[in-house]
Structure 1
Amino acid sequence: MELIFDYAPIGMFVLLLFLLFLGVPIAFSLAFTGVCYALLMWGYDSAALLTSGAWGVMNNYTLIAIPLFILMSILLEKSNIISELFDAVYKWSGGLRGGIAITVIIVGAIIGSISGVVAAGVIGLGLIALPHMRRYKYNENLSLGTIMGGGTLGQIIPPNLNMVLYGAITGVSISNLFAGGLGAGILLILIFIIYIFIIAYIKPSSVPALAKEERVSLKEKLNSIKSLILPMILILLVLGSIFTGVATPTESASVGVAGTILIGIFSKRLNWQKIRDAIFESSKMTGMVAWILIGAATFSTVFSGIGGNQMVSELASNVYGGKWGVLFFAILFIIILGMFLETMALIMLAAPIITPVVVEAGFDPLWWAVLFMVILQMAFLTPPFGFAIFYLKSAVGEKVKIGKIYKATLPFICLQLIAIILIILFPVLATWLPDILNPE
């Protein structure tokens, strides 16, 4: 029995990955694994432990922001704001070589800052931008990669569901994490755009500019700015209320929902039927998220109880290279988990295990939190289970084979690795905005 107990943490991950490869939904894979090992180790006495772990997650006030941000993102989708944003930015960048790809990155960032849901960005851009890129004969690999890279900016640019969850678990200030994420998001936007410019210089035919007769006049460009006004107001309402300290992230989420509804009604983009449909869809999505959180809480409670946290901590402390060896181990640990797990489940499992180890090694908790989020963004792209891959596949259907989408992720995974290296070498890239907003 002692031998089983010693190797139980490894066995839990093996069973979890086996269930995922069988196609069992991640929430139930996590819960099943946790329950099985709890019964194996402690018998029926483990019931109280499992229920208290799940209740602890669901009773967390901060997590109320999650269903509110989900509702806000669906209301935005119903109001067709994404297509109008794309059209506005597209008119200004159309004469630039690679302009459509740059538009995708910028619009992806804006979508991220008003919804915080990656699925909305990737699917919306896949439906709207890919037909334009094909029409102008953009390189397909670049087109698909740009849509996934731009769409996943919602993972790092606040408001963000995963940041809310991470802050609730680790105690890191969500407001400061939002600010750090915004700074890191700006870095990623610049890296992506520079990459597009380099491609345009090396191989101009892969990212052509619009023909002169297809470019719009200055008057049309100025008129298109009108469609940016309402989204910008919404961004200021949500992020402004957080950064100024007027509202907590949970309160700002309700501000965002109310603002979205008022803007939608005022601009005649929303009606009662759309609002009702959005509430219904957000309820389904919130239920899915809740089951993931319960499953992850069950898994992590049992994993911690059988010594899994201690095992990971000992592995990290024994790696070569001191604090930098610990950091490399932590990054590799998250990247490997990110290849298989949904991001919320990954946070629930990895944050309580690896964050104390990294902080104990001497790294700033906020800096590590921002770096954790950047690595998590890369997890959306890493095969075999990168969720952005499947979001895009659902948008394009049979028009694009899954193999091409997998291939298209590789350059953007490399770009995100560059961002990770830069944040490690220059920690101020992750902390400059929190330092400005909270100088004390």
Structure 2
Amino acid sequence: MDLIFDYAPLGMFILLLILLFLGVPIAFSLAFTGVIFALIMWGYDSSALFTSGTWNIMNNYTLIAIPLFIFMSILLEKSDIISDLFKSIYHWSGSLRGGLAITVIVVGAIIGAISGVVAAGVIGLGLIALPQMMKYKYNEKLSLGSIMAGGTLGQLIPPSLNMVVYGAMTGVSVSSLFAGGMSAGIILILLFVFYILFMAYTKSDSAPALAKEDRVSTGEKIRSTRTIILPMILIILVLGSIFTGIATPTEGAGVGVFGTVLIGVLTKRLDWKKIKASIFESSKMTGMVAWILIGAATFSAVFSGVGGNKLVSDLASTAPGGKWGVLIFALAFIIILGMFLETMALIMLAAPIITPVIVEAGFDPLWWAILFMVVLQMAFLTPPFGFAIFYLKSAVGEKVSIGKLYSATIPFILIQLLVVIIIIFIPISVTWLPNLLSK
């Protein structure tokens, strides 16, 4: 029995990976692994682990923001605001080489600031932007990579669902995490844009400017800008209410839903039929997220019970290089898990295990939380199970092979690694805004 106990943490991960490779949904893979090992280790008396984990998730006030932000993102999709944002911004950037790809990055950031849902960004941009890029003969890998990278900015640009989950799990202020995510997101956006411009001007055929006959007049540009005024007001309402302390992130999500419905009704883009469909779709997506959180909570409880947390802590403490060795171990741990796990499940599993180790090593919890989020954003692009890859695949169907999608992520993953290095060596680059708002 002692031998089984010693190898239980490793066995849990092996069983989890087997289930994932067999195609079992992540939520049920996590829950099944946790329940099976609980029964093996402690018998039927352990059955309460699943129900207690479910209750803890359902009873967490911070997590109420998740269904609200999901509902908000689906309302935006139904009201065609994403399409209008894209058209407005690319009218202004069309004369610039790489303008369409830059538009994708900027619109991805705006979508992230409105809804915080990565799937909405990647799928929406894939359907709207990719045909335009192919029409103007953009390099295919640059096009695909920019859509996946731009769509995942919702992970860093607040409000972010994953930041809400991380804050609920670790006790880090969600508002401060939002502010730090904004700083990290701006750095990432600038580096993405720099890379696109570099490619466009060193390889002119990879991202050409729009032909003169396809460019619009200044008057048309100004008229198209009107379409982004209301969404920008919505961003200010949501983030402003959170950053100023007027509203908690959960209350801010409520403000966002109300603002989205109001915009949709005033512009006659939403009717009761679309709102009802949005409620139904958001309920399905919320249910999926809830099952992931419940499964991860069950897995985490059993993993901790069999000594998994202590095992990881011991491995980290024996890493050479002192606290920097601990940091490298922690980053490697998250990056490897990110290749296989859905991001919310990854937070539920890794944050309670690795965060105490990092804090004990002497690192700032908020700085680490922001760094964790940047690495988590990279997990959306990291093969073999990067979710942004599969979101885009669902949008493009058989037109693009999965191999091309994999290779298109590589330059953007390298840029994200560069941002990780910047945050490690220049911590103030991401902590200045949270520190300023806390004064």
**Deviation at 1:360?**
0.7
- Measured on the aligned residues, the alpha-carbon RMSD in Å equals 0.7
**1:42-76 CA distance string (max 9 Å, x none):** 00110223322221122101100000000000000
Per the alignment, residue 319 of structure 2 pairs with: 319
**Deviation at 1:272?**
0.2
Per the alignment, residue 172 of structure 1 pairs with: 172
Q: How many Å separate the matches in 2 of 1:213 and 1:425? A: 47
The reply on whether 1:81 has 2:81 as its aligned counterpart is yes
Per the alignment, residue 275 of structure 2 pairs with: 275
Q: What amino acid maps onto 1:304 in structure 2?
A: S
Moved more, 365-374 or 52-61: 52-61
Per the alignment, residue 185 of structure 2 pairs with: 185
Q: What amino acid maps onto 2:105 in structure 1?
A: I
Q: How many Å separate the matches in 2 of 1:119 and 1:262? A: 23
Q: How many aligned positions are there?
A: 439
**1:211-255 CA distance string (max 9 Å, x none):** 122211111111111011010011011101000110000011111
Q: How many Å separate the matches in 2 of 1:362 and 1:202? A: 44
**Deviation at 1:12?**
0.2
Query: Aligned runs of 1:288-437 on 2, under 5 Å?
Result: 288-437=288-437
The reply on whether 1:92 has 2:92 as its aligned counterpart is yes
Q: How many Å separate the matches in 2 of 1:146 and 1:22? A: 30
**1:232-288 CA distance string (max 9 Å, x none):** 011011101000110000011111111110110011010000000000000000110
**Deviation at 1:330?**
0.5
Per the alignment, residue 114 of structure 2 pairs with: 114
Per the alignment, residue 259 of structure 1 pairs with: 259
Q: How many Å separate the matches in 1 of 2:397 and 2:345? A: 27
Q: How many Å separate the matches in 1 of 2:262 and 2:231? A: 12
The reply on whether 1:211 has 2:211 as its aligned counterpart is yes
Q: How many Å separate the matches in 1 of 2:426 and 2:197? A: 24
**1:124-157 CA distance string (max 9 Å, x none):** 0000000111011000010000000000000110
> What's the secondary structure of 1:204's corresponding residue?
coil
Q: How many Å separate the matches in 2 of 1:67 and 1:328? A: 34
Q: How many Å separate the matches in 2 of 1:140 and 1:84? A: 23
> What's the secondary structure of 2:384's corresponding residue?
coil
Q: What amino acid maps onto 1:246 in structure 2?
A: I
- TM-score w.r.t. structure 2 length? 0.99
Q: How many Å separate the matches in 2 of 1:111 and 1:92? A: 18
**Deviation at 1:179?**
0.4
Question: Which stretches of structure 1, 4 residues or longer, exceed 4 Å deviation after superposition?
Answer: none
Per the alignment, residue 9 of structure 1 pairs with: 9
Q: How many Å separate the matches in 2 of 1:132 and 1:176? A: 38
Q: How many Å separate the matches in 1 of 2:86 and 2:50? A: 46
Moved more, 197-206 or 183-192: 197-206
> What's the secondary structure of 2:205's corresponding residue?
helix
**Deviation at 1:166?**
0.2
> What's the secondary structure of 2:209's corresponding residue?
coil
Per the alignment, residue 35 of structure 2 pairs with: 35
**1:147-199 CA distance string (max 9 Å, x none):** 00000000110001000000000000000000000010000000000001111
Which consecutive unaligned segments of at least 5 residues does structure 2 have?
none
Per the alignment, residue 156 of structure 1 pairs with: 156
The reply on whether 1:248 has 2:248 as its aligned counterpart is yes
> What's the secondary structure of 2:191's corresponding residue?
helix
**Deviation at 1:437?**
1.1
Q: How many Å separate the matches in 2 of 1:412 and 1:172? A: 28
Q: How many Å separate the matches in 2 of 1:237 and 1:64? A: 19
Q: How many Å separate the matches in 2 of 1:48 and 1:67? A: 26
Q: How many Å separate the matches in 2 of 1:283 and 1:205? A: 45
Q: What amino acid maps onto 1:140 in structure 2?
A: E
Q: How many Å separate the matches in 2 of 1:51 and 1:127? A: 40
Per the alignment, residue 105 of structure 2 pairs with: 105
Q: What amino acid maps onto 1:334 in structure 2?
A: I
Q: How many Å separate the matches in 2 of 1:297 and 1:344? A: 11
Q: How many Å separate the matches in 2 of 1:116 and 1:90? A: 22
> What's the secondary structure of 2:341's corresponding residue?
coil
Which consecutive unaligned segments of at least 5 residues does structure 1 have?
none
Per the alignment, residue 146 of structure 1 pairs with: 146
